[in-house]
Amino acid sequence: MSDLQRRRLGREGPEVTVLGFGAMELRGTPHRNPRPLDEAVVADVLRTVLDEGVTFIDTSIDYGLSEERIGRHIGARRDEYILASKAGCPLEHLPDAPAGPLAHDYSAGNIRAGVEQSLRRLRTDRLDLLQLHISPSLSTLRRDGVVETLTALRDEGKIRAFGVSSTLPHVDDHLEIGDFSAFQVPFSALERGLETRIELAGRRGFGIIVRGGVAQAGKRAKQTADGRPVTWAGSGLEGLRDGDTEQGFLLRYAITAPGVTTVIVGTADPDHVRDNVRAARRGPLPADVFAEARRRLDAAGLTPQPSPAVG
Ligand SMILES: NC(=O)c1ccc[n+]([C@@H]2O[C@H](COP(=O)([O-])OP(=O)(O)OC[C@H]3O[C@@H](n4cnc5c(N)ncnc54)[C@H](OP(=O)(O)O)[C@@H]3O)[C@@H](O)[C@H]2O)c1
């Protein structure tokens, strides 16, 4: 039994651990951003995730070999995890595609073909959550009848719930239409843009899945409100760590932020899985530390973006 805290993913969703696993690092080759990895290491990573008690796994058709590897190595343990994948993605691997977001197709035909492929690759008969990838606009959603497609898939039992991977500028529309039970959003102490919206969404009963929560272990620079690059070193948080590693403190910050359900951290290293579990087991930050962290981040220019009230 896991001693990781669990939270409900949306008002009627399943309980998931506050630390989830993002399986993008298992994309392998061929991929337009290849990450070669020995198959034995892949197996070790995935078994460690489950053995350490993490119960939520996020993947995507877009993550190369990730779905197949989950199916191959832990498909037989399917009842131990809540499984989320993505929709609208091209069905083929496109190793030569240029950098930047891949073109996505949210037609009923492509979404349905993608779900069937994901179920086969993941060796399962249901996805617990299907998320629209790449934050489609409201006009795309309406033009393609996307919510109708997702509702039909849920009624057929192929998916249990649907959500959206959401970013600005579409996140307010996604929240407003209220059709999605869960939102996957970029967020960390160093990337606080959506912090206010996350809190509002949580109050509305939506599940919030945070990606980028350890800010690539604090090393990749994020931007202040006025466009300055900042890493952990410039965040002002160093003096608050109290025994956490940098990535551990960032993870705990994300877990503590009001509205967050789970933080999917990506890694291809079993030791990093264990590190992340160790940090998550320490639980949310004490209220005074979290308040002080927010004050220091504000002072460093790492602030939430103003949000229209989502009542
Ligand atoms: N919806 C979308 O559009 C979208 C976009 C991007 C990602 N995602 C999802 O979100 C997940 C996480 O996103 P992300 O990869 O951008 O951000 P992240 O989880 O903040 O960062 C992952 C990076 O941090 C490193 N890391 C993890 N734990 C560590 C540890 N304990 N010590 C040192 N380094 C550590 C990993 O390297 P090592 O492998 O070396 O540990 C990896 O390069 C992905 O796996 C994917 O499931 C979704």
Instruction: Quickly list DSSP for the chain.
Output: ---S-EEESSTTS-EEESEEEEGGGG-BSSSSS-B---HHHHHHHHHHHHHTT--EEE--TTSTTHHHHHHHHHGGGGGG-EEEEEES--SS--TTPPSSPPP---SHHHHHHHHHHHHHHHT-S-BSEEEETT---HHHHHHTTHHHHHHHHHHTTSBS-EEEE--TTTHHHHHHH---SEEEEE-BTTB-TTHHHHHHHHHTT-EEEEESTTTGGGTS-EE-TTS-EE-GGGTT-GGG-TT--HHHHHHHHHHHSTT--EEEEE-S-HHHHHHHHHHHHT-SPPHHHHHHHHHHHHHTT--PPP-----
CATH class of 14-94+104-299: alpha beta
Whether the model pTM is above 0.95? yes
Determine the residue of 264, 271, 275, 276 to mutate for testing ligand 1's pocket, defined as the one with the most ligand atoms within 8 A of the Cβ atom.
264
Distance 109 CA to ligand 1 centre (A): 31
Decide whether any atom of ligand 1 lies within 6 Å of the 269 Cβ.
yes
Q: What is the pLDDT along the chain (311 residues), one digit of tens a residue?
A: 459 999 999 999 999 999 999 999 999 999 999 999 999 999 999 999 999 999 999 999 999 999 999 999 999 999 999 999 999 999 998 889 988 889 999 999 999 999 999 999 999 999 999 999 999 999 999 999 999 999 999 999 999 999 999 999 999 999 999 999 999 999 999 999 999 999 999 999 999 999 999 988 767 788 888 899 999 999 999 999 999 999 999 999 999 999 999 999 999 999 999 999 999 999 999 999 999 999 999 999 999 998 875 44
Among 267, 271, 278, residue to substitute to test ligand 1 (most atoms within 8 Å of Cβ): 267
CA 211 to ligand 1 centroid distance, Å: 7
Domain ranges of the chain: 14-94+104-299
